[in-house]
Structure 1
Amino acid sequence: MSEIPRKAVQRTAKLASLPIGVAGRVVGGWGKRLAGRSSEDVNAEVSAKTAEQLFAVLGQLKGGAMKFGQALSVFEAAVPDELAAPYREALTKLQSAAPPMPERTVHRVLAEQLGASWGKRFAEFDDSPTASASIGQVHRAVWHDGREVAVKVQYPGADEALRADLRQLMRFSRLMQAIIPGAEVKPLLEELRDRMVEELDYRTEADNQRVFAKAFEGDDEVLVPRVVASSPKVMVSEWTEGTPLARIILEGEREERDLAGTLLSRFHFSAPSRSGLLHADPHPGNFMLGADGRLRVLDFGAVARLPEGLPRTLGELTRLALENRPEDLLGVLRREHFVRPGTTLPGEEIQAFLGPFVEPLREEVFHFTRTWLRGQAERVADLRNPDSQTGRSLNLPPQYLLIHRVTLGATGILCQLDAEVPARAIVARWQPGFAD
């Protein structure tokens, strides 16, 4: 058996072990209840052990599981601390400790993608990777014209492994739903699956990055590295440095946290109007804060194409919820098919459900915290709460799914940063339908 199929089998076995492990813990939980322990204590113990196993397995994987783990990383702010701790540790390992490809494999891929004389394109090339990604690794190099560059090289067999991981992950989306309250995991997986397949061809990512780089060229707040060269499995971009948002989340000072959060918010809301694209991979590993105070944005494999900018409907809904206009709010939701035909929903219940989500826009500067996000997640996930029932009665039209996921992801990062952000002014400036 070759190395790639062998690793794919090992990955599949690890992923498949998750539902089995959960079943064993549930059976054990029944036994403990019969022995007299309270259901609350037993459920908490089962949930904690399940989360620990899930996060530990995701932390050992590349491909689809690693990508999915990165996408979920922004939701850890909504997870209770006792569950989030092992998750954070697994994600740290996931982003920094993936085993590198052998030098001979890197050189083979470079020769296949850039030609047998690929070495002549570089004045220098560091064979030791500086970073690992879900389907490739990054090397630092010097282009033949003297520019420092980042060279992303895709793992051989990454496409096969990615599809295999996604098939396995889809099989136990309900398990992940139980661990991450308030997140619709199955639609998230389906949407991520579609985006990830696009990411396998680096030429698509390079085209996306060129659009962003042109839109933000010379910007005072955002820097997007320019693309130097690209092929299906190798991409070369100008090198850039900064403090990763993951480090700011762990140990950043207040000023640094607020600046990173504000710049991230402005980038998220302004990019569709400026470039016609929405960066659709929001996790801390894709952003850095440079010494010049500008946000560095990386990884453009996943985007939403919004040639007319963010949908006006979203701004209109946000404004109506903020202004406490339940009947008008319900009317727009029906018009845009957020409410299914034949469904009866009082406007007051819709307002009660959506009102708390727009809290960040009720004041000039809002403090995004894990406590606030956790409260929102618990409110939506608690079946005893009327807001949860209202939320489950609403429908999210397909054209809004990706935007919704990315906005939730960006909000999750703001809460991880514990950032104070002038959110209202940013939304008023860049979200059509909000201020007019």
Structure 2
Amino acid sequence: MTDIPRRAVSRTAKLAALPLGFAGRTVLGVGKRVTGLASEVISAEIQQRTAEQLFSVLGQLKGGAMKFGQALSVFEAALPEEIAAPYRQALTKLQESAPPLPVASVHKVLSEQLGPDWQSYFLEFNDKPAAAASIGQVHQAIWNGPPVVPAGTRRRGTKTTARAAATGRPVAVKVQYPGAGDALLADLKQLSRLGTMFRAIQPGLDIKPLLAELRDRISEELDYELEAESQRAFAAAYAGDPEIFVPEVVAASPRVLVTDWVDGTPLSQIIASGTEEERNQAGRHLATLHFSAPGRAGLLHADPHPGNFRLLADGRLGVIDFGAVARLPGGHPEPVGRLVRLALAGEAEAVVDGLRGEGFIKPDEVIDAEAVLDFIMPVLEPLSVEEFRFTRAWLRVEAGRLTNPRSPAYQLSRQLNLPPSYLLIHRVTLGSIGILSQLEAKAPYRAIVERWLPGFAPPA
């Protein structure tokens, strides 16, 4: 029995208490402040206590709960500054840190996955994790050449994979937490109970298929060999690229992944203290990754939070963690670019027809086309000009417009749906906007979209 299943009752209790402590004590209050339903001020003491509880509980739980916390760490940019400030530091910790796995447990996983002589594969191995994420933690090491495939490990259920790798190269060794699979599925089941919170934000959502799609995609992250395949595809697509850097995969087994080490400044540091040039550069590269990856790699990096990006010394954006990806072999769906172009052109009826055809509007739903355009246009402001600067203030205005029950935008949202096939695209877009707003990055976003998003450029 693994450590995590033994603590299943405790974990469930902690997660069950989170909505009571966090949502009950604070989120409802924050919602009132954001939506204008009340003017009372939440005390700084309660905010701080809730932030500490959030980090403590989600950090201990890891798995799906920690992923929820990582998402929150991006969207704090949408909250009013006086409310967001107490959460920012605690939530940012979730992007790169969590309570570490004991050294003995790390060695046990490495022995099971790489064989009892696993230490021979490294000239050096740092037992202290360099970073900890939702289902695994990362150790820095020095590679000692390709390993012999050990008996008992699996390649898609059979054996470990490795490629020829130079001795002495710095590598990142990602080790999956024992019991992470059970923990992840248990956490997702618990978090599905928060579906009513999402209905409050967008009542028209069909929650069940969305949760099923999210569960399937997140569950894929447990397979490090699948992640290795995705990372290899990204590395090949961006080999020699002047803007994006993807580290190569050195070796992979179901629960251990070895890749080249990436030195650089974490995006969280750029957000906190980067220069304007660094912020703008990071934002431009992040937008380029978002829109170019489906066409170049057939994949979309689907875990956008600052802990997964580094600004390298040469100015490139280093990208790590490819466990969560959206598979888009045909590139970005053409309707996305086409409908954005039609919206910017003011073609309200054509936009509604397109949204209905893609499942964003239900077939029998009667809807005001001009109201739909009014709903969409403010969000498309960054693409209506040659250069745009995302800001926390801009995002707060948009969040307030879309979540205030008194606003026309909120009322219209009750008639809209999010098709499961667009779930990860939607998630990545929102997450990227959150990061760009944290960076307050100015860039030629329209030109990036024109180059990479199918359907956006007018037909010849």
TM-score, with length taken from structure 1: 0.90
Instruction: Return the letter of the residue paired with 1:260.
Output: A
Task: Determine the C-alpha separation between the residues in 2 that align with 1:344 and 1:173.
Answer: 25
CA 1:428–1:20: 2 relative to 1, 3 Å: closer
Q: Which of 291, 308, 315 is the matching residue for 1:286?
A: 308
Instruction: Return the letter of the residue paired with 1:81.
Output: E
Unaligned stretches of 5+ in structure 1?
30-37
Q: Is the 8 A contact 1:223 1:296 kept in 2?
A: yes
Q: Which residue is 2:281 aligned to?
A: 259
Task: Determine the C-alpha separation between the residues in 2 that align with 1:24 and 1:216.
Answer: 45
- Post-superposition shift, 1:25? 5.2
Secondary structure of 1:364's aligned partner: coil
Task: Determine the C-alpha separation between the residues in 1 that align with 2:41 and 2:206.
Answer: 21
Q: Which residue is 1:233 aligned to?
A: 255
Q: Which of 229, 243, 251 is the matching residue for 1:207?
A: 229
**1:382 equivalent in alignment to 2:404:** yes
Matches within 5 A, 1:198-347: 198-347=220-369
Task: Determine the C-alpha separation between the residues in 1 that align with 2:40 and 2:190.
Answer: 28
CA RMSD after TM alignment: 2.8
Q: Is the 8 A contact 1:19 1:175 kept in 2?
A: no
Q: Deviations over 1:16-53 (max 9, x none)?
A: 11344479759x99xxxxxxxx9824585699689645
Q: Is the 8 A contact 2:48 2:87 kept in 1?
A: no
Instruction: Return the letter of the residue paired with 2:116.
Output: A
How many residues are paired up?
426
Q: Is the 8 A contact 1:124 1:143 kept in 2?
A: yes
- Post-superposition shift, 1:93? 3.3
**1:122 equivalent in alignment to 2:100:** no
Instruction: Return the letter of the residue paired with 2:216.
Output: D
Task: Determine the C-alpha separation between the residues in 2 that align with 1:181 and 1:414.
Answer: 23
Matches within 5 A, 1:78-157: 78-144=78-144, 145-157=167-179
- Post-superposition shift, 1:132? 0.8
Task: Determine the C-alpha separation between the residues in 2 that align with 1:185 and 1:205.
Answer: 29
Q: Is the 8 A contact 2:59 2:66 kept in 1?
A: yes
Task: Determine the C-alpha separation between the residues in 1 that align with 2:327 and 2:23.
Answer: 41
Q: Deviations over 1:199-238 (max 9, x none)?
A: 1110010010000000001111111000000000000001
- Post-superposition shift, 1:420? 0.3
CA 1:186–1:62: 2 relative to 1, 3 Å: farther
CA 1:189–1:342: 2 relative to 1, 3 Å: closer
- Post-superposition shift, 1:335? 2.7
Q: Is the 8 A contact 1:315 1:434 kept in 2?
A: yes
Secondary structure of 1:156's aligned partner: coil
Task: Determine the C-alpha separation between the residues in 2 that align with 1:184 and 1:340.
Answer: 11
Q: Is the 8 A contact 1:149 1:236 kept in 2?
A: yes
CA 1:218–1:19: 2 relative to 1, 3 Å: closer
Instruction: Return the letter of the residue paired with 1:383.
Output: P
Q: Is the 8 A contact 1:59 1:91 kept in 2?
A: no
Instruction: Return the letter of the residue paired with 1:406.
Output: V
Instruction: Return the letter of the residue paired with 2:65.
Output: A
Residues 381-390 or 239-248, more deviating: 381-390
Q: Deviations over 1:332-378 (max 9, x none)?
A: 22333322122111221111111111100111110101111111111
Secondary structure of 1:393's aligned partner: coil
Q: Which of 370, 375, 400 is the matching residue for 2:422?
A: 400
Task: Determine the C-alpha separation between the residues in 2 that align with 1:402 and 1:389.
Answer: 24
Residues 185-194 or 159-168, more deviating: 185-194
Q: Is the 8 A contact 2:73 2:92 kept in 1?
A: no
Instruction: Return the letter of the residue paired with 1:149.
Output: V
Task: Determine the C-alpha separation between the residues in 2 that align with 1:213 and 1:97.
Answer: 25
Q: Deviations over 1:232-254 (max 9, x none)?
A: 00000011110000111111110
Q: Which of 162, 186, 191 is the matching residue for 1:164?
A: 186
Q: Which residue is 1:195 aligned to?
A: 217
Q: Deviations over 1:117-169 (max 9, x none)?
A: 11121122111111111111111111111111110011111111111212221
CA 1:325–1:45: 2 relative to 1, 3 Å: farther
CA 1:23–1:344: 2 relative to 1, 3 Å: closer
Q: Which residue is 1:32 aligned to?
A: none
CA 1:318–1:181: 2 relative to 1, 3 Å: same
Q: Is the 8 A contact 2:206 2:418 kept in 1?
A: no
Q: Which residue is 2:38 aligned to?
A: 40
Q: Is the 8 A contact 2:2 2:179 kept in 1?
A: no
Task: Determine the C-alpha separation between the residues in 2 that align with 1:190 and 1:79.
Answer: 28
- Post-superposition shift, 1:266? 0.4
Q: Is the 8 A contact 1:280 1:402 kept in 2?
A: yes
Q: Deviations over 1:278-327 (max 9, x none)?
A: 11111100000000111000000011111111011000110111111212
Secondary structure of 1:150's aligned partner: strand
Q: Is the 8 A contact 1:281 1:302 kept in 2?
A: yes
Instruction: Return the letter of the residue paired with 1:158.
Output: A
Task: Determine the C-alpha separation between the residues in 2 that align with 1:91 and 1:192.
Answer: 22
Instruction: Return the letter of the residue paired with 1:14.
Output: K
Q: Is the 8 A contact 1:176 1:185 kept in 2?
A: no
Task: Determine the C-alpha separation between the residues in 2 that align with 1:246 and 1:237.
Answer: 22
Q: Deviations over 1:48-76 (max 9, x none)?
A: 68964556533443111111211232211
TM-score, with length taken from structure 2: 0.86
Task: Determine the C-alpha separation between the residues in 1 that align with 2:283 and 2:58.
Answer: 27
Task: Determine the C-alpha separation between the residues in 2 that align with 1:326 and 1:24.
Answer: 40
Instruction: Return the letter of the residue paired with 1:86.
Output: P
Task: Determine the C-alpha separation between the residues in 1 that align with 2:262 and 2:20.
Answer: 44
- Post-superposition shift, 1:96? 4.9
Q: Which residue is 2:5 aligned to?
A: 5
Matches within 5 A, 1:389-428: 389-428=411-450
CA 1:111–1:83: 2 relative to 1, 3 Å: same
Higher helix share: 1
Q: Is the 8 A contact 1:243 1:288 kept in 2?
A: yes
